[in-house]
Amino acid sequence: MTNKQGLLFPEFEKITLSQICENADEYIEEYEKYNINYEVLNVNDVTFKAGTKEAVHSWFRLTPSYSPELVRFFLNYFEVKKTDFVFDPFNGKGTTIVECQKNGIKSAAIELNPLLYNITKWSLNWDINIEIFKAEKDIIEKAFIKQIKKYELLDVEEYAIKAKVEIPKIHNVYRWWQKEVLKELMILKEVINKKGSSEFKDFYNIIMSVISLDCANVHRNHPTISFDDNHSRIINVWSEFSMNFDKVINDLKEVSELKNIEKAVIINGDSTKLSKYLNGYKIDALITSPPYPNRFSYIHTTRPQLFFMDLIDNATEATELDLKAIGGTWGRATSILQKDFLEPNKEISEFLDYIPLLKPKNLLMCNYATKYFNMMHDHIKELKQYANDGFKGVYVVGNSRLSGIEIFTEIILGKILINSS
């Protein structure tokens, strides 16, 4: 079917919760206990995989992200108009606002992680001369080959001294990257800095962010990464760059044909402090996915790119960012949370029914969940000030099991949304 804005959405067959959830009866029991209405939506593939074949969305892989199709589904479901303002307070890789920009809908998002903020900012720039950008690839390749030959007898540390560049300051740097691979990545980065046009810097930054991880010694797990110390992969830095460059070029050609796009806005900030960014705005629709209470840290997982792209300087900076993040549990956050019982915000304490069960089993996990819901409460209180009449929104969340205790995230957040003032 086609909605009023001309967006295309397929018809979906009705399905039941038991078809997609092994312990459906447990969830249904919880929903009925709290008089929560629920509807099962069949939206095909809602995971990041569905975006790997779509223009712009495919540029950067973030495993715990949702699909562009899910955004289109909710734009239709909420009957979003061209004149509406769509907001995503937990931007991630920018799926919501990239899709809004494609479809001419005004939108904005907030992201705390410097890498994800910049990836989104770089991904929103489509107004360039594609043919001139395409032609620069040969210039970059020739300069890269020349520099590789120039420094072929030097190891990575000798190259860094000679070229006056810095090796990424991440801990265990040579466990993350083979020395020769890291040298080639650094040479390519320096070549781009000197030979690449400033007009195309955003796209070079995206590509280098992507290949810095693709060329690393890691397993791409779901949703985390881990060291792959014994791999036998042949890593070709230029091939990785070339493949991603061509993908960006092809996608830019596709989006250049779109009519009446509406440039999205991305803000580097804290979603618990919306009043710093949203004065003068009224939100008509919200499509977002906050972190889940599952100990997954976006800062921790994006460390290789954060360091390689010079977005952070040291581990302390990374752990401080994680402490500010909703869901952050790495480094100093863990040190703080494992000490004393964290009191829940008074307005939401009655909703956190996991505390009596989880606190005696694992204080750290109990405090982690409470930090999460306290910060989500702070966010929701701020959000309500900017909701327009007729506001509609969706939070895509997942439940967690901490030390064997089920955390019904969607029920708790639902209660917070209804009862927060």
List, in order of start, the domains of the chain with CATH numbers.
17-126+258-419 (3.40.50.150), 130-255 (no CATH)
Contact 331, 322 (CB under 8 A): yes
Q: What is the rounded CA–CA span in Å between residue 137 and residue 121?
A: 22
pLDDT score for 23:
65
Contact 94, 119 (CB under 8 A): yes
Average pLDDT across the chain, whole number: 90
The tokens for 62 are 């973030």
Label residue 225 by pLDDT band (50, 70, 90). Answer: confident
Label residue 52 by pLDDT band (50, 70, 90). Answer: confident
Label residue 3 by pLDDT band (50, 70, 90). Answer: very low
Label residue 386 by pLDDT band (50, 70, 90). Answer: very high
421 or 64, which is more confident? Answer: 64
Label residue 31 by pLDDT band (50, 70, 90). Answer: confident
DSSP designation for 341? P
Lowest mean pLDDT among 57-66, 188-197, 253-262, 292-301: 292-301
pLDDT score for 332:
77
Q: What is the rounded CA–CA span in Å between residue 268 and residue 277?
A: 10
Angle between helix 179-195 and helix 130-150 axes, rounded to 10 deg: 130
Q: What is the rounded CA–CA span in Å between residue 47 and residue 51?
A: 8
Contact 251, 195 (CB under 8 A): no
Contact 215, 185 (CB under 8 A): yes
The dihedrals phi and psi of 79, each to the nearest 5 degrees, come to: 55, 50
Count the Cβ atoms, other than its own, within 10 Å of residue 88. 27
CA 64 centroid distance within chain:
7
Mean pLDDT of 352-369: 95
Mean pLDDT of 264-271: 97
Lowest mean pLDDT among 5-19, 236-250, 307-321, 325-339: 5-19
Count the Cβ atoms, other than its own, within 10 Å of residue 409. 21
pLDDT score for 1:
27
Contact 281, 315 (CB under 8 A): no
Label residue 10 by pLDDT band (50, 70, 90). Answer: very low
Contact 355, 344 (CB under 8 A): yes
pLDDT score for 18:
52
Label residue 26 by pLDDT band (50, 70, 90). Answer: confident
